[in-house]
């Protein structure tokens, strides 16, 4: 029996109950060996008494403990103690996807797809390790406070299904696959079906099949077609609808065959949501019964008539026809018989016709070859090149106001909307140095993305002549410009005519003047842009939104780590991306992210010899004193009793800059007798004791 405060496994202290399910209860605990909080899932008594179940549960849980993935609630330990069987897992602060859906009624398409991608990646990792979940549902998916999506309860599902646990114990039958509902074999594609039902619920806020009993719902999974999610939410894109429907096919062979296939289509749906790219293949299509068309009937009739007319001749030549074994194919017999017919019916006139046709075909082929060679060499012109080449639509952006802005601020703003700034300087006494005087494109004008905008910037004197670095490598160009006292800003750009890594152009241009210490922009070639994408800015986004945006732009999310960042506005948001905004990279490039944990907190130390509490006149050396040192945040650093001072104190890692030293001691007063000199009356004052407290403020030293 689990009780709050008990210790299990000689290391896990049970702190509080945080959840309960059909087969287990979940407790928050502290791992005293590694000094961290964990979640401990304890099997309920009725399952602990089932030896067969416990055996399978232990094997599966140990296998799940080998899984390590950012989208899986990791299992740390499996154990038993006094008939208590438990799993120690990662503690995730957050809510289940089920509660999240209930809270928001239904999720947006982009948010649902982003969650589905993360769930799929977690399940894919398990499948790669030959572990099938078998109980995918929103209740087993957790969204942490940081926006991370994690799948939980790996291992416990197989043990449950192996022991024919009833559906009300297993969890909701609303998400079970048809093969599971029949009690048949289930594999990775069963998880895909359950994830499809989960996606349906995220998108519509409801499950597709419902009924009064679990049996009624299970029968619907087996027999009824899945309703279209667009019946409930018409704005769901066609690609997303098809993905859900493919996941939820009755036959496992018609579903996605792996999580990797599903992830590819989910990412594609973020980029082209309205494109119909999802392919559902019917494995029985080639063997299906087809209606005979009129054309087929005519052909069959002709073949029948031909066979009738040839029947007698074939009998006469029977000795020349190769005999076959009884099991040989009848069509093969007919093939050889027809071949013999053609050989015997040889016609010399037909040979002459065939020869003429062969010559004509050779002339036609020769003429076609001559035409294409001539067109390649420019001999034949059948229209302008522009007419033959389809025009690609170029994305346009609206020019923003930059006049009067600081040049560095203006550059960042232009790069942010997809325009490339070029700088030229002009001596001006009326404007502050570094201020943009004018731009080559007026505010409000629509211009093609990636266009160059020339900014004229105020300078005080003629400055230094800018050397030419066009055509040089980025490293060489940077070295030359920095040697002259300039700051180099490199902007990546695509140019098939310039080798990757070399400078396409520079701004300001060569032989113009620019102030010492000013920025020189160099455009560095990244080669052809056929397979290049531009990196978006995800700084300041949640991890979920950043993942969706990067995926939408054809990029992959790499390692996601946490770090402290001085900007409090970025807490729990992306504070770093491994490729800068506006850079051109290959499609599928992995972008690493860092999530801010908030500003780093200063720590302090307290290394002092605490002197006696002489602030109180009644204190006497040798008294028993309780000395307590408390930081301002309530952390107690010291609590001891002593009769001698000073007391040594040496503490580090204190989170508050100051605190207080408290002294508690007891003053004992002896009985005294006094005589009034005038009256001669004697007065006796009885003995007493009093507990006294002295407070002494202290300041700690920053580490």
As annotated, the active-site residues are 135
The token pair that represents 391 in the structure block? 């025009």
Report the candidate in 510, 476, 481, 505 with the shortest Cα–Cα distance to residue 492: 505
Helix H or strand E segment including 124: helix 109-128
Contact 221, 209 (CB under 8 A): yes
The token pair that represents 14 in the structure block? 């049970």
C-alpha count within 13 angstroms, C-beta hemisphere, residue 457: 29
Contact 611, 646 (CB under 8 A): yes
The token pair that represents 384 in the structure block? 């302008």
DSSP letters, 452-507, are: EEEEEEEESS--EEPPP-TTSBHHHHHHHHHHTTPEEEEEEE--TTS-TTBEEEEE
The token pair that represents 211 in the structure block? 């009924």
Contact 525, 489 (CB under 8 A): no
DSSP letters, 283-338, are: TTSTTS--PPPHHHHHHHHHHHHHHHHHHHHHHHTGGGSPP--TTS-HHHHHHHHH
Helix H or strand E segment including 90: strand 84-90
C-alpha count within 13 angstroms, C-beta hemisphere, residue 273: 13
DSSP letters, 406-441, are: BHHHHHHHHHHTT-EEEEEEEE-SSS-TTBEEEESS
At 369 the three-state DSSP class reads: helix
Q: Categorise residue 598: left if φ over 0, alpha if ψ from -120 to 50, beta otherwise.
A: left
Q: In sequence order, which residues have a C-beta less than 8 Å from that of residue 326 and are 6 or more positions away?
A: none
CA distances for 283 relative to 155, 280, 291, 487, angstroms? 32, 10, 19, 63
Q: In sequence order, which residues have a C-beta less than 8 Å from that of residue 626 and are 6 or more positions away?
A: 639, 640, 641, 662, 663, 664, 665
Report the candidate in 201, 185, 88 with the shortest Cα–Cα distance to residue 136: 201
**What is the 8-class DSSP label of residue 643?**
S
Phi, psi of 458 (to 5 degrees): -75, 135
CB-count exposure of residue 391 (10 Å: 0-12, 13-18, 19+): exposed
């Amino acid at each position: 029996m689990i009780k709050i405060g008990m210790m299990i496994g000689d290391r896990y202290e049970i702190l509080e109950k945080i959840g309960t399910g059909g087969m287990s209860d979940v407790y928050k605990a502290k791992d005293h060996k590694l000094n961290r909080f964990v979640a401990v899932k304890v099997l309920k008594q009725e399952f602990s008494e089932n030896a067969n179940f416990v055996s399978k549960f232990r094997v599966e849980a140990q296998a799940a403990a080998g899984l390590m993935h950012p989208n899986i609630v990791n299992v740390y330990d499996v154990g038993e103690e006094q008939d208590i069987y438990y799993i120690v897992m990662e503690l995730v602060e957050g809510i289940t996807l089920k509660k999240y859906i209930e809270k928001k009624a239904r999720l947006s398409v982009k948010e649902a797809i982003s969650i589905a991608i993360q769930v799929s990646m977690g399940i894919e990792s398990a499948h790669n390790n030959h572990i099938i979940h078998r109980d995918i549902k929103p209740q087993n998916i957790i969204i942490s406070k940081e926006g991370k999506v994690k799948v939980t309860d790996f291992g416990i599902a197989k043990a449950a299904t192996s022991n024919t646990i009833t559906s009300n114990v297993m969890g909701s039958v609303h998400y079970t696959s048809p093969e599971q509902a029949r009690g048949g074999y289930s594999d990775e594609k069963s998880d895909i079906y359950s994830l499809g039902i989960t996606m349906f619920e995220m998108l519509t806020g409801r499950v597709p099949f419902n009924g009064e009993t679990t049996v009624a719902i299970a029968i619907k999974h087996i027999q009824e077609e899945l309703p279209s999610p667009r019946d409930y939410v018409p704005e769901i894109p066609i690609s997303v609808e098809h993905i859900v429907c493919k996941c939820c096919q009755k036959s496992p062979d018609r579903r996605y065959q792996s999580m990797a296939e599903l992830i590819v289509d989910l990412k594609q749906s973020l980029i082209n949501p309205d494109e119909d790219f999802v392919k559902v293949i019917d494995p029985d299509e080639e063997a299906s019964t087809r209606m005979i068309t009129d054309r087929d009937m005519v052909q069959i009739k002709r073949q029948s008539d031909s066979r009738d007319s040839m029947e007698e001749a074939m009998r006469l030549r029977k000795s020349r026809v190769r005999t076959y074994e009884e099991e040989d194919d009848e069509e093969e017999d007919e093939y050889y018989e027809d071949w013999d017919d053609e050989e015997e019916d040889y016609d010399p006139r037909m040979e002459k016709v065939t020869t003429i046709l062969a010559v004509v075909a050779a002339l036609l082929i020769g003429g076609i070859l001559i035409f294409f060679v001539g067109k390649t060499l420019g001999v034949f012109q059948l229209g302008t090149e522009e007419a033959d080449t389809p025009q690609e639509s170029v994305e346009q952006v609206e020019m923003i106001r930059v006049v009067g802005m600081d040049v560095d601020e203006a550059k960042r703003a232009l790069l942010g909307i997809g325009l490339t700034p070029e700088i030229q300087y002009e001596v001006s006494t009326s404007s502050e140095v570094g201020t943009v005087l004018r731009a080559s494109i007026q505010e409000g004008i629509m211009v093609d993305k990636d266009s160059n905008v020339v900014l004229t910037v105020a300078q005080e004197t003629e400055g230094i002549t800018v050397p030419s670095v066009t055509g040089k490598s980025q490293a060489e160009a940077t070295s030359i410009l920095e040697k002259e006292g300039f700051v180099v800003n490199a902007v990546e750009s695509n140019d098939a005519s310039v080798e990757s890594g070399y400078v396409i152009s520079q701004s300001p241009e060569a032989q113009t003047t620019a102030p010492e210490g000013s920025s020189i922009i160099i455009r560095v070639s990244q080669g052809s842009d056929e397979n290049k994408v531009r990196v978006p800015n995800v700084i300041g986004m949640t991890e979920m939104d950043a993942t969706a945006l990067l995926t939408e732009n054809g990029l992959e999310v790499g390692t996601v780590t946490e770090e402290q960042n001085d900007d409090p506005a970025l807490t729990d948001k992306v504070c770093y991306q491994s490729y800068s905004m506006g850079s051109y990279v290959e499609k599928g490039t992995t972008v690493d992210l860092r999530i801010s944990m908030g500003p780093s907190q200063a720590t302090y130390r307290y290394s002092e010899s605490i002197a006696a509490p002489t602030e109180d006149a009644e204190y006497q050396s040798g008294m028993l004193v309780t000395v307590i040192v408390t930081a301002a945040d309530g952390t107690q650093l010291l609590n001891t009793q002593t009769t001698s001072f000073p007391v040594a104190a040496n503490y580090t890692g204190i989170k508050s800059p100051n605190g207080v030293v408290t002294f508690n001691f007891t003053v004992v007063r002896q009985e005294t007798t006094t005589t009034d000199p005038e009256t001669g009356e004697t007065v006796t004052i009885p003995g007493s004791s009093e507990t006294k407290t002295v407070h002494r403020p202290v300041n700690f030293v920053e580490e």
